[in-house]
């Protein structure tokens, strides 16, 4: 999650678990969307197994939105 941290997100070891106050004012929605997407995939219980193609595609698009670049050495599921 380095890309989100580079935009100012701070991970906490207690509730609310994330601090968005340092997020770049031009990117708050972007970082919140990325956190949501990561939770959608990482916390659904299946670890993306039931919808592997969708899961990979969502994470690749999220990476692209955060960094402005494609995931290195990856076959893209969808194009941004």
> Rounded to whole angstroms, what are the CA distances from 68 to 21, 43, 47?
22, 25, 26
Residue 5, C-beta contacts closer than 8 angstroms, at least 6 positions apart: 11
Q: 15-34: per-residue pLDDT in tens?
A: 888 888 888 787 778 888 88
d(CA 29, CA 33): 6
d(CA 58, CA 15): 26
Q: 34-78: per-residue pLDDT in tens?
A: 888 888 887 777 766 778 888 889 889 988 988 899 999 998 888
* 2 three-state secondary structure: helix
Cβ-contact 35, 8 below 8 angstroms: no
């Amino acid at each position: 999650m380095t890309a989100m941290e580079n935009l100012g997100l701070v991970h906490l070891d207690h509730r609310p678990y994330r601090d968005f106050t340092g997020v770049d004012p031009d990117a708050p929605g972007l970082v919140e969307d990325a956190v949501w997407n990561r939770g959608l995939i990482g916390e659904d219980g299946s670890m993306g197994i039931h919808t592997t193609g969708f899961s990979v595609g969502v994470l690749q698009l999220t990476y692209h939105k955060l960094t402005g670049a494609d995931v290195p050495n990856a076959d893209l599921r969808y194009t941004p």
